[in-house]
Amino acid sequence: MEISDLLTVESVVPKLSVTSKKQALQELAKRAQAVTGLEERRIFDTLLERERLGTTGVGNGIAIPHGKIAELDGLYGVFARLDKPIDFDSVDEQPVDLVFLLLAPESAGADHLKALARVSRLLRDQTVCAKLRGSDNADALFSLLTENSTSNVAA
C-alpha cells in the first residue's frame, strides 16, 4: 500500500483556510466528494461519527480523520495543509496543521488498516512534516507525500 495509491495531485489542498475542526471536516468532505463521487454530506457524517469515538488528532500537529463507507469502490485520500493551525482535540492538546483524510469501503478490512499505518508512519517522520509545512504548492506536496512513500517502505 503506497500513498500514491490513495492520493492524486487533485486531492492535495495546499492552503486550506478553516477555523475549526468541524469546518475542516466539512471542507475535506467537499474535496473528497470530488474524488469519490459520493455525497459530501455522507462523507461528513461518516467523519463526525468516527470523531465521536475518539479524536483522530494524533499529535505533533497531525490529524488523520478516517472512515468506512459501503458505497466506496476503493481507498481514497485527501491531504490538506492548513494555512493556520486549529484545535482538533488532539491527544497532545496541540493545534493541527496537517490533515490526511482516509476513506475506505466497508469491505476494506486489512487494507484500511494498512493504509492508516502507512499514512501514520509517513507523518511521524519529522523531516517530512517540516517539508510539508514549508510548501504551499500542490505538486510539491504531492511529490513529498509520494516520494517518501517508496523510500520508507521498510520503516
Q: Which three cell numbers stand for residue 150?
A: 517508496
Residue 47, sorted as left (phi over 0), alpha (psi -120 to 50) or beta, turns out to be alpha
Return the number of other C-beta atoms located less than 10 Å from residue 12's C-beta: 23
Of the residues 66, 81, 112, 118, only one is catalytic, namely 66
- Catalytic residue flag (residue 66): yes
Q: Which three cell numbers stand for residue 132?
A: 510539508
Residue 122 contacts residue 87 (beta carbons within 8 Å): no
Residue 5, sorted as left (phi over 0), alpha (psi -120 to 50) or beta, turns out to be alpha
Question: For the chain, what percentages of helix, strand and coil (3-state, to nearest 5) are there?
Answer: 50, 20, 30
- Enzyme catalytic residues: 66
